[in-house]
Amino acid sequence: MSVTATLSRKYQISIPKSVREEQHWQAGQQFVFIPKGKGMLMLPVPSFEQLSGIAAGADVVHYRDRHDRF
């Protein structure tokens, strides 16, 4: 899919409806902007519920706590 949007005089961009629907984005949702070369990566900020269990099964053998730092 290739769609375009125009930056307004107030430095705002409207996300095309086809993109919002495909990604299931909602009004009021927060996003983070990550610089990538000459572009920008825009990702939705996950909720705490979405992060639950993300580290399940992680290997904690080589975990460094603050006490291990110099």
Closest CA to 42 of 55, 30, 52, 51: 30
User: CA 33 to CA 66: how far, in whole Å?
Assistant: 29
Block residue for tokens 């629907």: 21
Residue whose structure tokens are 């919002």: 20
Among residues of the chain, what percentage have pLDDT more than 70?
91
Give the pLDDT band (50/70/90) at residue 50. Answer: confident
**Taking Cα atoms as reference points, which of 51, 32, 57, 50 lies closest to residue 42?**
32
To the question of pTM greater than 0.85 for the whole model, the response is no
Cα separation, 57 vs 19, whole angstroms? 34
